[in-house]
Every structure is written in structure tokens, then in C-alpha cells.
Chain A
Amino acid sequence: MSQSIQDVQNEIIEEFSMLDGDMEMTIGYVMELGETLEPLEEEKKTEENIVKGCQSKVWLDAQLQGDKIHFKADSNTAITKGLVSILVRILSGRSPKEIVDADLFFIDKVGLNRFIGTQRSNGLGAMIKQMKIYGLAFATQVKSQ
């Protein structure tokens, strides 16, 4: 993982740009990305791990490994799973500080905001917020190590 958060986002923007803004192809690609998501163990799919604010269900688990946060996630819908997989790809394996400070510019550039719509992007917003909360929570642990 030598790429920066910026680099990964630019890579994603590049990938989506090949779809020419075609909605069906975009959705199809998002779903495809979801299939590459590292599976989340069934026992981690608890009420506690559910991210509030999503129209569909998302479970998010965060573990501190060394000084990096490792995210795992799943969703009961294919599209949301794809969206989560993008966030995991960008933010997993980063230091708490990197996660807290991350500027997720790809959402506007890829047009996810437009095609996800307000109610659902609130769900995406809730996922990002939860990842950043984990970042904050683990930051203190890393400091005291």
C-alpha cells in the first residue's frame, strides 16, 4: 500500500470516467466492485456494527493493526456494498490521522452524489462519518502506544 489517499481516488475517478456517465454501466461497475470486497465474518454483522442513516443495511468493522486501521464491511444490497467497497479501498490500511484528515473529493468527481441522490448519499455520508469516528477513536490509542 504505497499509494496515497489522493492517488487511489484519482485511480477511481479514472476508472469511472471510462463509463461515460452511463447510469446502467455505472451501477453495474459499482456492483462489480462490491464483489471484490473482503468478506466480513457473519459474527461481525451485529446491531452494533450497523451504520445508521443508510437506506440499506451496512455493517462496518474496524480493527487497529499496528498503527493502521483495517476496515471490513458488508451490505445487504449490491449497490451499497459496491459503494462501501470504494470507501474501504481508499481508507483501509491507513493511519487514524490520515483517515480523519482525508478529503474524499472523488464523490463529486465520479458523480456519485448525483446518481446516488440526497437520501442515499446521506447513507454514504454516514459511512464516511463512521469511518472517521473510528479514526478519531483509534488516534488516541496509537498515541499512547
Chain B
Amino acid sequence: MSDTSVVSTQLDIEAIRAEFPVLHQQVNGKPLVYFDNAATNQKPLQVINALKHHYEADNANIHRGIHTLAERSTTAFEDTRKAVQTFINANEAEEIIFTKGTTESINLVASSWGRKFLQSGDEIIVSGLEHHSNIVPWQLIAQEKGAKVRAIPVMENGDLDIAAFSQLLSDKTRLVAVNHASNSLGTINPVKQIIEMAHARGAKVLIDGAQASSHLPIDVQQLNADFYAFSAHKMYGPTGVGILYGKRSLLEKMPPYQGGGEMIKEVSFEKTTFNDIPYKFEAGTPNIADVVAFKAAIDFINRVGKEHIAQYEEQLLTYATSQLKNIEGVKIIGEALHKVSVVSFVVEGIHHFDLGMWMDAKGVAVRTGHHCTQPLMDRFCIEGTTRASFSVYNTIEEIDVFIGALKDIIKKLKP
């Protein structure tokens, strides 16, 4: 390991790759290069086996059953809750609510907290970097309540304009909802500072951590976040599992989000009393098997080590960025100083749709389009980008394949 090598890591990447069966296949006759990790990343055997084991050995509905399988399922389900608590350093496991994804986590807060605490004339501040899922739920509740949604502008390099944010904050601000890292550009936002500034004006803060959860250390107590939302499937875990962290003091004051089984204490036709948190927000049978398997994903990240993952991904990002910059006609969108392993770019004279299709023909999976961030695309006066995003199992060699493919496509398509 020398300082001059392109990538130095303590990780055995080949061994890690061997844990991901899906990576070892040909797509359109070419070895798969999977660079769509910001959309969802792949699952290690540990997770796949945990899912299989649950259905083969333990499957039962949780919390109410008195038989052995119900006990095993319940224990496994609640073990994941504890693992999540530790993973984000929440004060207690009851502050972890399982949802079906980041989107539902945000909708839960918008519906429940928003319906109770928002009033006409109040303001919600989002940012110009947000995914539609951290814009639209706020627009819906704002419309219902006569509140207003305002947006922190994005600077040319892809960073948020914090000075402008400071101007937007006022006594009318009730909530600030921003992402920890941008899905489109990769920008890592100064969420601790944003939270401090919002709290100073008495506003609550929700952090959309979907793009941060597998790349950055998350400590909700240190951040002092009021709400933190993320998804299992972007951190090597199964789809259909989301997490909402909320401070106990807030969650307890919030009304239920959906009604049904599990969330009640007692039901009569005259009056129903609700269960304690987190169950108050988990109506109906949850996604038991995927929640159980999600613990294996957390174990995977902990075993490999988040700081090792972050360090290695940073090297992949740096290498890919420098290679892209060498290609004439390629313009990187978003060059914030602090980024997760996402690089978005446009190619002069070539539509991202054509580029993405041709990349696929060469076995390279990238994402093209507006990435569910249309306001951000408007900000940069573009229709969309091509986005490559990296996970710990990706390699420098794969980036070389991607760059080679890109050069070849440009040569073919350039008018």
C-alpha cells in the first residue's frame, strides 16, 4: 500500500464483492457494472439468507402471539429496532418507528405532526436540493393548513446557501426539512449547523437521511435532530423498510398516522385509546421479514466499518470525478467540497436518455433523468443528468470500464 497508489484501502474489496451474488453476471453480454447505488444498492448474502431464514424457520405474526414462532419473530423484529437505535445513537429504541420507506417516514411527520402543530401563516423551509418526497408532503399539509413552503437556494457548486437560509428563518418558521446528502448531486449538507440555526428560532427539524445512511456516521443526539428519516434498501438492506427516528417528547404529542391493529390500547365504539410509541405509529402487520433481514444489513455495515466504507467510496468518487473532468464536453453538475459518492454530469450535445441506454448496452447501469429533483434541475437549467453512484463493492477497474464506455459513446454520438 503506497501513498501514490490510486486507491489504498484496508478493505478486501474482492472478498466483499464475493458476498454480493447479483454483481456476478453479464448484462447484454458484458460484465455488469452497477453504478446505480444511490437509487438502491445491492444486498449481501447475509441479508438474503436472513430473509430466507425468517420464512423457513421463524415466520409468525409479531407482538400478540404466545407461541414459540411468534416469540422468535417478535424478538428478531425488536432486535432490529435496537440495532437501528445503536446505529444512529438514538436515546431509546422506542424512538425508532418502522415505516415502508423514507417517503412514508416523511409523510408520517407531515400528516401527524403537521396536522396538529401547523397553523395558517406558518412556514416550512425545505431546500432546493430536496427529493420530491421531501417537498410534496409539505406542500400537501401546507395547502391544508394555509401554511407556506419556502426553499433554501442552491449555489452554483451545489452547496446550500446558508446565508440565504438564515434570511428565510423567521418566527413564522415551524419546521425545516432538508436532506443530509443530496441524491442528485451528492452534496453533504451542514445539517448540524442547520439544526442549530432552526432551533434558535424555535423551529423543529426533519433530516432526510436516505442518501447519508450508508455513507456517513449518523448520531441523532449529537445532531440534535428532531426527526431523522431513512430507508433500509439504500444501505444493503431489503426494500420496503423505512425508519423514522423522532424525539420521544415529540412523538408522544403527535396523533396516530393510521388506524388499525397494533396501534391501539383499547377499542370500544365510544372511545379508543392508543398504544405507546413506537407502536402507536405502526398500525397493522408490519413488513416483518424485511425488518428482520435489515438487521443483517446493519451488521454488514458494522462489520466492514462505516469509516472504511466512507474512506474507500471517497477515493472512488475522487477518481471518477478526475477521470470525467478529462473528457471534453463533460460537465459535472455539483462540485461541493463535501460529497457522498455520487457524481452527476451532462454531456454536451448528447441527451442523457441516449447515453443511459447505450451505457446499459455496454453493461453499465447508471441513472438518467431528473432524479425526482425537478426544482434542482430547473435551478441548473437542465432537463436531467446522468448519475453514477458508488458503493463499497465497486472498483477502480469498474470506473475505468465506465469511463471507456462513455468515451466510446461520445465518439459515436457527438454531432
Look across to chain B and name the residue whose beta carbon is closest to the beta carbon of A26: B361
Interface residues of A: mostly helix, strand, loop or mixed? helix
Give 10 A-B contacts (CB < 8 Å), ordered by A residue: A23-B29, A24-B358, A28-B412, A31-B354, A31-B413, A77-B351, A77-B353, A78-B351, A79-B353, A79-B354
Q: Would you call A22 an interface residue if the criterion is a C-beta within 8 Å of the partner chain's C-beta atoms?
A: yes
Interface residues of B (CB under 8 A from A): 28-29, 351, 353-354, 357-358, 360-362, 369, 412-413
Judge whether A27 and B29 touch: CB under 8 Å.
Answer: no
Residue of A nearest to B368 (CB): A55
Pair A27/B357 contact, Cβ less than 8 Å? yes
Q: B412, A76: Cβ atoms under 8 Å? A: no
Known contacts A27-B358, A27-B361, A78-B413: does B29 contact A56 (CB below 8 Å)?
no
Residue pair B353, A56 in contact (C-beta under 8 Å)? yes
Chain A residues with Cβ below 8 Å from B362 are: 24
Q: How far is the CB of B409 from chain A (nearest CB, A)?
A: 9
Indicate if the CB atoms of B361 and A79 lie closer than 8 Å: no
Q: In chain A, residues 98-117, which have Cβ atoms closer than 8 Å to a Cβ of chain B?
A: none
A80 at the interface (CB under 8 A from B): yes
How many residues of chain A are within 8 Å of chain B by beta carbon? 14
Nearest Cβ on chain B to A131's Cβ, whole angstroms: 21
The 5 closest A-B pairs by CB, nearest first: A23-B361, A77-B351, A23-B28, A77-B353, A24-B361
Q: A79 CA to B357 CA in the complex, in Å? A: 8
How far is the CB of B242 from the nearest CB of chain A, in Å?
Answer: 23
Not counting A77-B354, A78-B351, a sample of 4 additional A-B residue pairs whose C-beta atoms are within 8 angstroms of each other reads: A23-B360, A27-B357, A56-B351, A76-B351
Q: How far is the CA of A122 from the CA of B351 in the complex (A)?
A: 19
Q: For A77, list chain B residues within 8 Å (CB).
A: 351, 353-354
Produce 1/0 per residue, A15-42, CB < 8 A to B: 0000000111011100100000000000
A73, B413: Cα distance in complex, Å? 21
Chain B contacts of A76 at CB under 8 A? 351
Whether A80 contacts B353 by the Cβ 8 Å rule is yes
Instruction: State whether A55 touches B358 (Cβ < 8 A).
Output: no
Please give me the residue from chain A that is nearest to B408 by CB atom: A24
Q: Which residues on the A side are within 8 Å of B351 (C-beta)? A: 56, 76-78
A22 touches B29 (CB 8 A): yes
The residue on A at minimum CB distance from B28 is: A23
Give the distance to chain A from B367, nearest Cβ to Cβ, in Å: 12
Is A78 a contact partner of B354 (Cβ separation < 8 A)? yes
- Identify the closest chain A residue to B27 (Cβ): A23
Task: Please report the C-alpha to C-alpha distance between residue A48 and residue B353 in the assembled complex, in whole angstroms.
Answer: 22
Q: Which of A41-62 contact B (CB under 8 A)?
A: 55-56
A31 to B353, CA, bound (A): 12
